[in-house]
Amino acid sequence: MNPARKYVAIAMVSLASASSAQDRATIVPEMKVLLNNDCARVQYHDVGIGKTIPMHSHPAYIVYTLRSFRARIHLPDGTTRISQHKAGEAYWNPPITHSVENLGRTPIHNLIVEMKPGGRCE
């Protein structure tokens, strides 16, 4: 493949990946947004017992765990990992595209604070 076609192919795959993963608010329209400004979006994240939130994307974000949970995280490349946190924990995640499957016996309840890239925060 000539170099120009290679770069076009890479760009097309990147765009396809980006467009297939949507904002969680689009995937889950009933998602509760508690704050949305130029700096951040704060949302209430819940996933019912045995439920899965389809593939979606987040910018860098902070999670505050309201209830202990165990979930399987599915990544676009087909890999999975287990995420498990106790109530009262806070943790940081870099930007990610994933789906979330609740493996626990109780619903997942978290607060998510998404940092808006290039946001004007003072």
**Residues near 56 by Cβ (< 8 Å), separated by ≥ 6?**
21, 22, 23, 24, 26, 27, 28, 97, 98, 99
Judge whether 104 lies within some domain: yes
Q: What is the residue range of 58's domain? A: 23-115
What's the total number of domains in the chain?
A: 1
Judge whether 72 lies within some domain: yes
Entry pTM: 0.76
From first to last of the 122 residues of the chain, give the pLDDT tens digit.
544 443 333 333 333 333 446 887 777 777 899 999 999 999 999 999 999 999 999 999 999 999 999 999 999 999 999 999 999 999 999 999 999 999 999 999 999 999 988 877 77
Contact status, residue 111 vs residue 45, Cβ threshold 8 Å: yes
CATH number at residue 79: 2.60.120.10
Judge whether 60 lies within some domain: yes
> Tokens for 24?
């969680």
| Residue 57: its H or E element | strand 52-58
